[in-house]
Amino acid sequence: MKPAATVRLLLADDHAIVRAGYRHLLERQVRIAVVAEAGTAEEAYAQFRLHRPDLVVTDLAMPGASGLEVIQRILRAEAGARVLVFSMHVSPDIALAALRAGALGYVTKSSPPDVLLRAIDEVLAGRQVLSPDIAQALALARLPGQRRPLEELTPREFDVLCMLVSPASVQDIAQRLHLSPKTVQNLHYQIKDKLGVESDIELTRLALSWGLDLAPSLEAGTPEGKRPV
């Protein structure tokens, strides 16, 4: 019998110890080889362009742009790329944002290892997959009569909203996402309009009530060498 081809994987997470632990888990599977790691969104995209892995397993909360931005940039570079999100957040809104950005799977870090391994197989086969806890959260969120206002936001608007909650200034967000401050301000107004809020205090309270503490602290660092466009 012909042996299965080795799966070449990129692992992106801002904690080196976490990456080491999951790399050990994944490489215990004979057919999986972690060909690259990344600790920031910029590194993840650069490593993807360099190695062109079969699969990207990424967290969402990383210094600089978030994992949502990474997903979009990777798919713009290669439409057929396979991305699996591996996150601590058991939030239906965050999971939906990741899927809308182009991820094929969403697994929470509280899931047993076999759930992650099965999800890798599903995503590689081009099938959408969710860990049981996030699947249940999504099912409950979609009960009849319940409106999901965050579904009206684009992935970029969702990314900006999470950074505003961190909290971050317009200038900080512009630098981290390589946008102009004016573009960020426009996105800020669009977000408030779509969510039906008038003040930033109301916007923050609403976002926190949905568990949108996705963006890491600004103290974690900001990519250098980029200018707003």
Helices and strands per DSSP (H, E), number in the chain: 10, 6
* In-domain check, residue 206: yes
Q: What's the pLDDT tens digit per position in 184-218? A: 999 999 999 988 888 888 888 877 776 666 555 43
Same domain, 88 and 191: no
* In-domain check, residue 1: no
Locate tokens 């972690």: which residue?
Answer: 34
Same domain, 121 and 11: yes
Is the four-CA dihedral 97, 98, 102, 107 of positive or negative sign?
A: negative
For the cut 80, the answer to whether the pLDDT of residue 181 exceeds it is: yes
The domain that holds 131 is classified in CATH as 3.40.50.2300
Over the Cα atoms of the chain, what is R_g? 18
Range of the domain at 209: 151-220
Same domain, 208 and 188: yes
The pTM for the full model equals 0.74
For the cut 70, the answer to whether the pLDDT of residue 98 exceeds it is: yes
Q: What's the pLDDT tens digit per position in 3-27? A: 456 899 999 999 999 999 999 999 8
CB half-sphere exposure, 82, CA atoms < 13 A = 19
Q: How many CB atoms lie within 10 A of CB 23?
A: 16
Residue 165: band (very low, low, confident or very high) from pLDDT cuts 50, 70, 90: confident
Pairwise CA distance, residues 140 & 124, whole Å: 27
Q: What's the pLDDT tens digit per position in 117-130? A: 999 999 999 999 99
Give the pLDDT of residue 7.
92
* In-domain check, residue 64: yes
Same domain, 132 and 164: no
